[in-house]
Structures are given as structure tokens and as C-alpha cells.
Amino acid sequence: MSKETKDRLLRVHSSGLYNNLSPEQALSLYHENKNFLNIATSNLLLAQDSQKDIYDLTELQFYLALITKNDTEAKMMLGRLTDKFGGYKKSQRIAVLRSVYIEATGSQPKNYQEASKFLESVPQFGKKINVIRRRTYLASKLNNIDANEYIKDLTSYLEVKPSDNESWYELSEVYLKLGNYTKSIYCLEQILLCVPFAYNIYYKLGAVYQSYAYKILYDFSDSNNANKRENFNYNQATIDKFFNFFNLSLKHFLKSVELCESYYKGWSGIFILTKPLKFKNKNLVSKFSEKNEQYSKLNILASQKLKEIIKKNWTSEENKKLIEKVLTSE
């Protein structure tokens, strides 16, 4: 195993990228990291002054084992780290990891309650930033914290740990639920500064821009009736703003499949976005018609790619059903 492999795995660990992988990618990374750890520990591949890397990759394996439902191995990785750093009453790192294990191996919503109760049993770490972050996350899952307080806690945490991509993603989701698309987009862009090839984040940006585009039309029409919206007389400024975000959405969907050709979510986004607009407003239809040929070609290509993904078994059976729903949607 090369130094390049080790450095890449360490970047995955430090960035939290493992949280945003597809099941297939997570499983592949799980096996790769497991093999690296086996070789490194058996052949003393890493020098004594690089033992920290071994423990960081052991922690990565802990998370990957949980993600891939290998709970027994996750428990073994936690045991190795506990042997090194001491029990949860001595190490905040172990306390946090143990709460993660409790959450991941329990049944909802009891798992969140048990994980939260566990952290309360180690008050000596109550003011440590990683424990505060973990408690904030669990409180959000239990609906014991309002959105504004959650945002405040996350932003305070990110001031200390700006490279925590998982927290940026969570913050983006909170802003999205509140309808603050600009800040949601900003949070996702912060992730790309750390992991510029994260195709799933490009897809997510495309989805947020798509929602933002249609929100502009809905807000301007100020109506709950979809038919009225379709026929509403939008002004030119609103139409221009809509298509600006519409095209940004398409741009990010395209970037996601450029980075990963078999990424079905990216192709699904392209397929849905490039279908003919349902709106009957003449100005909207006219603006769409300017690029109708391009959109039509992309729609056909996306359809072909989605069918290819199904045919070549590039994704799970569950995802294949989702693709079929996309292809048959009106």
C-alpha cells in the first residue's frame, strides 16, 4: 500500500467524506481501508512517529463498519481505540465514539435517547467542543432544540472546526428547511473547498438551486393553486432570475455526472430538469425555447444513461426502482 493511499484515506477521515458516500462506495472504501490497516499493522508499514495515522484510520474503519452494517467489527475498532486512549470516562474521543455506536446500533428514536443519556453520564467532558457538537446533534434528532439555537450551536462549532464537512452539510439542511436557500448553498460550497470532487455535493447544490428557482415563481404568483401559477403573468425580471437558478441547477447536475458517470441521482436531476416546462406563461415558454434543442438532447442522454445504469447493474435494486419512477414520471 502506498503513501498516496494512506494520505487519501486520512483525507477521507479528516473531511468526514465517508458520511456522504453511496452504499457501494462506502463498502468499497470499507474494504480498502481494512486491507490497508491489516498490512500496516502486520508489516509495521508505518513508522513509530506515524502511529497517530493508524489510530485515525482505525477510527475511520469504525465509522465505515457502522455505515456498512458491520457492527461487530465497529465494536472491535472501538475496543482498539479504547485500549489506546482509555475508557470513556478518561477520553472525550472515546466518549463521543461510544455515543455514536449506541446511536447506530439501536432502534429509533430510543437510540438517540440512549446516546444522549450516555453523554450526560460523562459531565467532565460537558464543555469539550466535540461533546457539545455531539449533544447538539442528538438534541436536534429528539426535537429538543429549535432551529435558531441549532444554527447558533453549529456555527459556533464551525468557527472552531471549519473543516468539519458533516457539520456544514447539517447546517445546509437546516437552512434549506427554513427556506434560506442562499445560506444553504453557501454551506455546501464550503464543503467543496475541502473536497472539490465530491460529486454528491454538486448534485445537492443542483437540487437546492432547482428548488430555489421554482420558489421564485411561486413567491411571485403568491398563490397555492398550481394551475394559476402555470398561467401567471410573470414579469421579465422574475423570469430572468428563475432561469439563472434553473441553469445553475443544471450546471451542478452535469458536474456531478462528469465526476461520476454512473451517479444515478445526477442523471435523474438532469432528466427531470430538462423535461418541457408545465408552465403555460408565454414568456417562460419562449425563454425555455431558446435552449430547447440543448435541453432536449440532455433529456434523451439522461434517459439513456439511467437505462444503462439499470441494465449494467451499476446500482442497488432499491435505486433501480427509484430510477424507473423517474423515467415514468409525468
Q: What percent of the chain has pLDDT over 90?
A: 42
Domain-embedded: residue 283: yes
Domain-embedded: residue 298: yes
Task: Tell me what pLDDT residue 269 has.
Answer: 96
- Rounded Cα distance, 60 and 13, in Å: 6
Closest CA relative to residue 133, chosen from 117, 153, 119: 153
Structural domain count, the chain: 1
- Rounded Cα distance, 4 and 106, in Å: 36
Domain-embedded: residue 91: no
Residue 232 near residue 196 (C-beta atoms within 8 A):
no
pLDDT of 284 > 90? The answer is no
The set of residues, in sequence order, having a beta carbon less than 8 Å from that of 12 and lying 6+ positions away, is 18, 29, 60
Residue with cell 465517508: 18
- The 10s digit of each residue's pLDDT in 178-236 is 999 999 999 999 999 988 888 999 999 999 999 999 898 776 554 444 445 455 567 78
Closest CA relative to residue 21, chosen from 133, 129, 145, 169: 169
pLDDT band for position 133 (cuts 50, 70, 90): confident
- Rounded Cα distance, 185 and 11, in Å: 23
For the beta carbon of residue 100, count every other beta carbon within 10 angstroms: 18
Domain-embedded: residue 326: yes
Domain-embedded: residue 209: yes
Domain-embedded: residue 149: no
For the beta carbon of residue 32, count every other beta carbon within 10 angstroms: 16
Domain-embedded: residue 301: yes
pLDDT of 49 > 50? The answer is no
Domain-embedded: residue 159: no
- The 10s digit of each residue's pLDDT in 96-132 is 999 999 989 988 778 888 888 888 888 777 667 677 7
The set of residues, in sequence order, having a beta carbon less than 8 Å from that of 46 and lying 6+ positions away, is 6, 40, 53, 54
Closest CA relative to residue 13, chosen from 49, 92, 67: 67
- Rounded Cα distance, 248 and 264, in Å: 19
Whole domain around residue 329: which residue ranges? 197-330
- Which span out of 106-110, 272-276, 283-287 was modeled with the highest average pLDDT? 272-276
For the beta carbon of residue 263, count every other beta carbon within 10 angstroms: 23
